[in-house]
């Protein structure tokens, strides 16, 4: 009988009778492996009620106790992360070591959140007025929703929930319906770590569940990560309903290679960042901007490396796994077709890949397109697959102009040995994350992750101190302890003296 992935609400595996379902595939075999429940609005309401009921006790749980639970979660995760990585590989398709890598990056946020008692320290001004003290504190919001994409089923939720929980909030996670099982494994781990029921809930579903989370009056904040059109929609609907929202969207990340760069280093970086996780990363490099007369040499060095990559079942010793669904694979391949028809040179063609794995898997090999121009859909659209497009330009100014006029502004990288040029790029590139000789500049957990322009709606980035800020709200307390000398009436506006 087919296994059903159900919700985790209030510490329990919930009944999914009468709900709609979606099929979950193993992308390396093309087979349906299980099915996932798609929550109705009523099921979302049950989860929000559980989170609301758990909130008063959790927000009043001491920082010391909250930290102990987080620390226990971190220890369990570290010890058992291979179990989670296997689940990710089987539902997402990325290679096992890459799955382990995403868990490790998520774990770093858990480690950051273990320092919550330091991060939540308020500030106090003694004698702001005579014998009057003012204290600023930050308090949790209540139940918060996290809505995550398919491409990082563990790391992206972990950008948010460790800090949300550490700060005293309760959480409803709505993961992608394409690879939902990681979320349930995480919920079970929280229970084992001693988190009280109702503090971390998982609701599976699609637009119906998302809309109810956006409309439910008891959901106080929404952290969303996904494609730009949905991010814009989520941000607007959450904001209209008076919720705090941060919605991270799509990307088109450029890597600029200046003529003085080390071309071997740049070629290694382009291959790693272009084809890692089959290009299904929001920080993947999808456009390589070759400046000046290095283009022929650089393209050849990238081709020579990319041709050696093994595409296959991520449980085996391969470099790149399948794409997440057949439909997505076909969509990415259609961009290669269009690029070729539009005049791009197909230097390496992933459509003809021979996989190390089941022929029915959703395969597409590494693809390198040269002579791409900025009008081609392969350049303008987010493709989210193993397709690296090379655009040739004559100058740094042209490269910068491309980045700054692009609708997306997640990340951008420059490869050069010229410190002055790198310094200029850091200053001038209109993106949220810049890499200097680093192709995938995902910041560490104690800094914050986020893009500009259509790559992020809202003003707060993920994790780091901005994450703590997002999951708490400010309160200023003005205090005067009267002594007998202060007796008397005075109806004037309070003045500081």
Query: Annotated active-site positions, please?
Result: 282
Binding-site member from 106, 140, 180, 250 for ligand NAD (CB under 6 A): 250
- Distance in Å, CB of 485 to ligand NAD, minimum: 58
Site string for ligand NAD, 276-295 (x = CB under 6 A): ------x-------------
177 binds ligand NAD (CB under 6 A): yes
What six digits make up the tokens of 230? 């949905």
43 binds ligand NAD (CB under 6 A): no
Which span sits near ligand NAD by CB under 6 A: 52-60, 91-99, 242-250, 331-339?
242-250
Of 176, 246, 228, 170, which Cα lies nearest the Cα of 201?
170
Site for ligand NAD in 357-386 (CB under 6 A): 382, 384
Is residue 108 within 8 A of residue 444, CB to CB? The reply is yes
Of 179, 104, 170, which Cα lies nearest the Cα of 148?
179
Which span sits near ligand NAD by CB under 6 A: 59-67, 76-84, 248-256, 473-481?
248-256
By CB under 6 A, the count of residues binding ligand NAD is 27
Is residue 202 within 8 A of residue 37, CB to CB? The reply is no
151 binds ligand NAD (CB under 6 A): yes
171 binds ligand NAD (CB under 6 A): no
Pairing of strands 253-257, 411-415: parallel
Site string for ligand NAD, 456-495 (x = CB under 6 A): ----------------------------------------
Is residue 96 within 8 A of residue 106, CB to CB? The reply is no
206 binds ligand NAD (CB under 6 A): yes
69/373 Cα distance (integer angstroms)? 52
Which span sits near ligand NAD by CB under 6 A: 10-18, 89-97, 245-253, 393-401?
245-253
Which residues, in sequence order, are CB contacts of 410 under 8 Å at separation 6+? 250, 251, 252, 253, 282, 283, 431, 432, 433, 451, 452, 455, 456
Binding-site member from 6, 106, 226, 322 for ligand NAD (CB under 6 A): 226
- Contact set with ligand NAD (CB under 6 A): 147-152, 156, 174, 176-177, 206-207, 210, 225-227, 230, 248-251, 282, 382, 384, 410, 451, 455
């Amino acid at each position: 009988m087919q296994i059903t992935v159900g919700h985790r609400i209030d510490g329990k595996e919930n009944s999914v009778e009468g709900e709609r379902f979606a099929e979950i595939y193993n992308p390396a075999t093309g087979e349906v492996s299980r099915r996932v429940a798609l929550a109705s609005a009523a099921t979302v309401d049950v989860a929000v009620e559980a989170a609301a009921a758990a909130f008063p006790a959790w927000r009043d749980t001491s920082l010391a106790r909250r930290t102990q639970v987080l620390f226990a979660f971190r220890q369990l995760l570290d010890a058992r992360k291979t179990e989670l990585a296997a689940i990710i590989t089987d539902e997402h398709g990325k290679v096992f070591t890459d799955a382990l890598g995403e868990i490790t990056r998520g774990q770093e946020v858990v480690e950051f959140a273990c320092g919550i008692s330091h991060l939540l320290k308020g500030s106090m001004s003694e004698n702001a007025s005579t014998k009057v003290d003012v204290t600023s504190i930050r308090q949790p919001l209540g139940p918060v929703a996290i809505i995550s994409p398919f491409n990082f089923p563990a790391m992206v939720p972990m950008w948010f929930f460790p800090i949300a929980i550490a700060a005293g909030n309760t959480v409803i996670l709505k993961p992608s319906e394409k690879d939902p099982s990681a979320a349930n494994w995480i919920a079970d781990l929280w229970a084992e770590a001693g988190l009280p029921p109702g503090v971390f809930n998982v609701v599976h579903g699609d637009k119906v569940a998302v809309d109810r989370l956006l409309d439910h009056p008891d959901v106080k904040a929404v952290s969303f990560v996904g494609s730009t059109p949905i991010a814009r929609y989520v941000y607007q609907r959450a904001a209209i309903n008076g919720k705090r929202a941060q919605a991270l969207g799509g990307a088109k990340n450029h890597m600029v290679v200046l003529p003085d760069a080390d071309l071997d280093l740049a070629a290694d970086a382009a291959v790693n960042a272009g084809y890692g996780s089959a290009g299904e990363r929001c920080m993947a490099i999808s456009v390589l901007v070759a400046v000046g007369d290095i283009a022929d040499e650089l393209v050849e060095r990238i081709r020579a490396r990319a041709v050696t990559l093994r595409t296959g079942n991520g449980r085996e010793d391969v470099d790149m796994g399948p794409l997440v669904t057949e439909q997505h694979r076909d969509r990415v391949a259609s961009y290669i077709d269009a690029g070729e028809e539009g005049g791009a040179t197909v230097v390496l063609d992933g459509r003809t890949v021979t996989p190390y794995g089941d022929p029915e898997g959703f395969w597409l090999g590494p693809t390198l397109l040269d002579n791409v121009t900025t009008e081609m859909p392969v350049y303008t659209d987010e493709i989210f697959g193993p397709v690296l497009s090379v655009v040739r330009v004559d100058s740094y100014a042209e490269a910068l102009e491309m980045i700054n006029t692009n609708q997306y502004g997640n990340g951008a990288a420059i490869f050069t040995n010229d410190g002055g040029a790198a310094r200029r790029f850091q200053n001038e590139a209109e993106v949220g994350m810049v890499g200097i000789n680093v192709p995938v500049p995902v910041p560490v957990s104690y800094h914050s992750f986020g893009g500009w322009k259509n790559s992020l709606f809202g003003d707060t980035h993920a994790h780091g101190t901005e994450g703590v800020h997002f999951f708490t709200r400010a309160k200023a307390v003005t205090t005067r302890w009267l002594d007998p000398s202060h007796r008397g009436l005075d109806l004037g506006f309070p003045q500081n003296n």
